[in-house]
């Protein structure tokens, strides 16, 4: 009797583990799709590819649905398995990460929307270099944040947070350039504004990637590092 009870609870815990594995996989699958969306959105804009842009906007609906499904999965696991300690931390962090992924999807859709407008209004005379550059960086941040999650790598997560600071600085400088350009050539204002909104969306993607990275640090170190300076964050990751 005792043995069969053990076997039963062993079975339960195996099932629970496979549910957690599945949750991770669903998150990474959604993450992979979102990362591709970032790249496609950038390409649709710099290549004036309105078909690709329409595609990005359609795929965004799929991402929204994925978020709702995974969110439900998280609630179900908490309700049925009553996880404790690190398992609970995993489920709660996963539920936060998918919300950031969904928003990265939203911002990609916004870039695609500007791409469609630029196809209609005529390309912008400037800003594509900056879009490509900052876009490449925030796409890499998204990918690296997800890899850090998959490997529970707090150091890699810290590097993502650090990169966000660099992106912010590049964004500020690109923005000043765009304003100068509008002042020099007021006829271009409308089209440059489309680039400005795209740059803004990319900068937000960097913020969300940083949020994901902070979630990974919480997962690994058990410490909420939101709103800390990079130096403080580094101490939390490397200390103890």
Site for its own copies in 123-182 (CB under 8 A): 179, 182
Q: Which residue number, 6 or 72, has a Cβ lying nearer to its own copies?
A: 72
Site for its own copies in 5-24 (CB under 8 A): none
DSSP string, 12-78: HHHHHHHHHHHHHHHHHHHHHHHHHHHHHHHHHHHTT-HHHHHHHHHHHHHHHHHHHHHHHHHHHHH
- Residue from 1, 3, 51, 85 that binds its own copies (CB under 8 A)? 85
Site for its own copies in 22-81 (CB under 8 A): 61, 64-65, 67-68, 71-72, 75, 78-79
Place of tokens 């992979």: 32
The reply on whether position 227 binds its own copies by CB under 8 A is yes
Give me the least distance between CB of 81 and its own copies, in Å please.
10
Please give the Cα distance from 107 to 56 (Å, whole number): 11
The reply on whether position 120 binds its own copies by CB under 8 A is no
The reply on whether position 82 binds its own copies by CB under 8 A is yes
Please give the Cα distance from 120 to 118 (Å, whole number): 5
Give me the least distance between CB of 39 and its own copies, in Å please.
23
What is the rounded (10 degree) CA torsion for 83, 85, 87, 88?
60
Give me the least distance between CB of 52 and its own copies, in Å please.
22
* Helix then strand then coil, % of the chain, to nearest 5: 90, 0, 10
For 96, the token pair is 């936060």
Closest CA to 101 of 55, 73, 60, 129: 60
Q: Which residue number, 76 or 151, has a Cβ lying nearer to its own copies?
A: 76
Q: Which residue number, 89 or 136, has a Cβ lying nearer to its own copies?
A: 89
- Would you tell me which residues interact with its own copies (CB under 8 A)? 61, 64-65, 67-68, 71-72, 75, 78-79, 82, 84-85, 88-89, 92, 95-96, 99, 179, 182-183, 186-187, 189-190, 193, 200, 224, 226-227
């Amino acid at each position: 009797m005792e043995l069969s009870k053990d076997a039963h609870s062993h079975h339960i815990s195996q099932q629970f583990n496979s549910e957690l594995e599945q949750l991770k996989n669903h998150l990474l699958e959604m993450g992979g799709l979102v990362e591709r969306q970032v790249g496609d959105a950038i390409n649709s804009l710099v290549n004036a590819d309105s078909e690709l842009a329409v595609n990005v906007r359609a795929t965004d609906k799929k991402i929204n649905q994925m978020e709702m499904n995974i969110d439900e999965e998280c609630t179900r696991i908490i309700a049925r398995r009553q996880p404790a300690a690190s398992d609970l931390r995993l489920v709660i962090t996963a539920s936060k990460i998918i919300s950031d992924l969904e928003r990265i999807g939203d911002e990609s859709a916004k870039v695609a929307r500007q791409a469609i407008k630029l196809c209609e209004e005529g390309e912008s005379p400037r800003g594509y270099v900056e879009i490509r550059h900052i876009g490449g960086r925030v796409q890499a941040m998204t990918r690296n944040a997800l890899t850090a999650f998959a490997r529970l790598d707090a150091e890699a997560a810290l590097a993502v947070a650090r990169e966000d600071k660099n992106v912010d600085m590049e964004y500020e400088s690109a923005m000043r350039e765009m304003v100068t350009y509008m002042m020099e050539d007021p006829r271009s204002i409308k089209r440059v504004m489309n680039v400005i909104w795209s740059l803004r969306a990319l900068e937000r993607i960097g913020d969300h990637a940083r949020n994901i990275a902070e979630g990974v640090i919480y997962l690994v170190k058990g410490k909420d590092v939101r709103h800390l300076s990079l130096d403080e964050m580094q101490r939390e990751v490397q200390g103890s």
